Structure 1
Amino acid sequence: MKLRGLFIAAAVLLMPTAALAAPGIVTTTVSLRAGPGEGFPTVDRIPGGARVNIHGCLRGTAWCDVSWSDDRGWVSSQYLEYLYRNRYVYLPDYVDEIDAPVVPFVLTSYWSSYYAGRPWYHRRAYWSGYWQSHERFATRLTIDRSAARIGRAAAARDAALSEAKARVGVEERSRARVEERTRVGVKERTRAGVTERVTREKDIATRSTREGQERAVQARMTRENARMTRENARVAVREQPMARARTQMPPIMARGHDEPRAVAPRIERATPHMAQPNAARGGGGPPMNARAQMPAPAAPRAAAPAMPQAGGAPHINAAPRGGGGPGGGGGHGQDKRQ
């Protein structure tokens, strides 16, 4: 029953420490001890710069309970950095500010939990006496100058690295945002370029279609004109022999309203023997019948044949009726002279 109570007490003591573990860094290579003191056995060696979990520290913060890899033990606080306000600080310089939990060291329960298979475990009674005699020294924080110098330099270096990482993170985020904006801009420009190219291609296709239709219409009109030209040429070729035959045919008597009639042969009227004017009669005056001496005008139509008279000679009407010559005679004056 007593042993079971010890295990329960150890579990109760360890549960809050495990829950309140904070990240830490070892500033230099250091020994992980089985208890809070230089005289306790060495559990393992922790290389400098290694990450550890700080579960708590003794009162006075001289030694801290840490875990590294699969081991658990105690490390002097002068070789530790503690995560404080998102950056690592040298633990002894921030004793009054950090919120590291204060934990006790109970050798029997602690060793039973973590060192049951270790060679020194069967000497638990000896080490319990050692702890009782050295407990007052383990709670005093004594800092080695070289260890403090190493710890502060490591803390400054880690702080600079943290700031650099934070700055790099900010730069990376800014670069990522810039790249994202650039990528979005490129996508938008690409989309705009694609839209413009599609529109241009549609315009080109529409223009090409329209031009093709116009060329087809022009070609059709050209073929139609050529066909009509060939047809006209064939018609002209067919009409040439007919025109040549028309030019070689004799002229056809024109119709009454197209060409004048053929002129009838001119028939000279028979002129009777006219007596010469007698100089004794009028003494040089004009002949009595001057019209008889003038040439007769051409008759527009053929003269009618003379009708035979009683004396056997044809009766010629020398002058028209109702007209008088210069002598003022009647229509038959010539007959009277005869």
Structure 2
Amino acid sequence: MLFTRSKPLAKPRHSGGIDLLKITAVFLILFFHVGFEVRPAAISEGNRLFMAFSGSFGIYAVDVFFVIAAYFLIESGFRKDRFLSYLFVVLFFIVYQSLLFGVDHAHELNQTGFEIFGEWLLRSFIYGALLTNIFWFASVFLFLNVFFPFVVKQLDAKLPDRALPLFLAHVLIFLAVFNFINTRTNLEEPIFFFGVYLLVYTLKRLHFAPKAYFTLPGFFLLYAAVALSRFFQPGLPPALRTLLDFTTGNISTNSSTMLLLALLAFYGVKDLPLPPLPAISYLNQGSFAVYLIHANPLFSLMTHLYNRAFPVLFHFDPLTVGLEGRFIPIVLALAGFVYVFGTLVGLLLAKIYPYLKRQASPDYRPA
């Protein structure tokens, strides 16, 4: 363990309202992501309004996350080791993804030297990546806190690592079907991530996977080497250039997802070489949930229902965020629909949530 366990500084306290708060924050985060799915060709005055509106909700959701995190530190009995572990992971991924962002964008901005790399890294770390990575951390933490206990319960598994392989399989199948129905393409990413998981799991079974390569620092160094190889990409064979483009094209998401899948395939949840975080947040490293949120399946369902309910007012396309007609009333109507829909689902989940409280509690640890 990275930190030794210390005695609680406060007695545990419980409140039912925090469950609904967590669920609401997840819907706000989903709504936030929609504002950044606007494609350049679809930008219009209405889209800018929509982006600003959804973005403001997302910012509030991040604030809510920190309130939730502080609440759980108090509710579970404030422990120094839990707080330091939480802080360690946040800081590690700020630095980790900042480096990857810097390498990726430095290659695109200037292929000749590292001066622009250092300048961009410093600027992005101070002004952009710091807040961005904390937001990703908040998104993943909230998403898993709300939804993973339901998967564990559904699969009737007492330990999260028993449910995880089936959970990943269900998610990959869902994403493949969802992407095919909506775009007839984009099947390569779910297949690629599933292949990473199977490859590492097979290596583990065949005893061909050196353990040192699948620690957090080890995998970071391996992927950093892949990212740096983009500087030498022009001299590589076409097939290898294509592979590097895909692997590092969206470096913040793909690298984190591969890191998570490799760690899970090799160790399982309970043996991950990570700080002693709550069992639910063992999965927030990276993470696969970022890809889930990015796909916005819940919002697509909302927009489908909205288009069926109000076909005359306007038609909303979740792929281009295209708005037609009067912009401000449309944005307000859509926001109201999302809020009502999210509240109803949230209330329903809050009714079920207490039965799963044990799996989701901060004190729960795999045996």
Q: Which bracket does the TM-score occupy, shorter chain normalised?
A: under 0.3
Higher Rg: 1
**Larger strand share, 1 or 2:** 1
